[in-house]
Amino acid sequence: MSICLSAQRLLAFLALQNIPRSRAYVAGSLWPDTTVPRANANLRSSLWRATRAGHPVIDASVQEIAIAADVVVDVHDAVDRAHRLLDPTCPCDDILTTRTRADLSADLLPEWSESEWVLIEQEQYHQLRLHALEAMTARLTAAGRHGEAVAAGLAAVRAEPLRESAHSVLIKAHLAAGNRGAALGQYDVCRRALADELGLEPSDTLTELLPKGLVSAAAG
């Protein structure tokens, strides 16, 4: 059974919270521009519509509501893997996979950008996945899995073309594979993007990744 947009947003909000929230908090977050009575009424309506699906997807009490404990939320797994990738003490061979790269290549709820709570969640996840993709690239490079490292690095650059740290791990992956031309080309991509969008030059840290003499070739 399909559910209305307001119920979908309620489910998404509760899923991303991952902990029980008071009814007042949920109503105020989802309907911040309405009166308290109207927000509470909207919450009751959305809660009723969400529970019509037949499967108990929401746990509700008089004071609090939460996503049901048996509901699997995909983004939680992606977040867990991202945190593992960012922990240098954590072995990650089991998650250095195409699936992890694909999951970390997608933004959160890209079609929903009109509410403040969505924007906050989107930005938090966006930053987390960028750092995780960079860490994944570095781990794959260290493991000698150069093709996969380049793929992860490209995903990071696509997500944030002006992010020097993403270009950095990708250049390192190319150099580790012995592909100086590809490294030079990626440096030039970064240089042009920074110049066109921000009027900046690459940092010394990025430039120093390349063997001496190659940077002048890229600039020419």
At 63-98, the pLDDT tens digits run 999 999 888 899 999 999 999 999 999 999 999 999
- pLDDT for residue 4: 76
Predicted confidence band of residue 216 (pLDDT cuts 50, 70, 90): low
Q: Which two tokens stand for residue 98?
A: 């195409």
Q: How far apart are CA 51 and CA 195, in angstroms?
A: 52
- With tokens 């944030």, the residue in question is 160
Q: Give the CA distances from residue 118 to residues 6, 16, 34, 126, 203, in Å, rounded to whole numbers and listed in that order.
A: 13, 10, 17, 12, 33
Q: Where in the chain is the domain with CATH 1.25.40.10?
A: 74-219
Compare 70 and 190 and report the one with higher pLDDT. 190
Mean pLDDT of 110-116: 82
Q: Which residue is associated with the tokens 């309506």?
A: 45
CATH code that applies to domain 5-67: 1.10.10.10
The amino acid present at 76, given as its one-letter code, is H
Q: Note the pLDDT of residue 133.
A: 99
> Is residue 82 within 8 Å of residue 126, measured between CB atoms?
no
Chain mean position to CA 42: 30
Element (H, E) at 6: helix 5-17
End-to-end C-alpha distance for the chain, whole angstroms: 60
Q: Which CATH number fits domain 74-219: 1.50.10.10, 3.55.40.20, 1.20.140.10, 1.25.40.10?
A: 1.25.40.10
From the number of C-beta atoms within 10 Å of its C-beta (0-12, 13-18, 19+), residue 85 rates as: buried
Please identify which residue in the block is written with the tokens 């600039």: 219
Percent of the chain with pLDDT over 70: 95
CATH 1.10.10.10 domain position(s) in the chain: 5-67
pLDDT mean across residues, the chain: 92
213 vs 130, more confident:
130
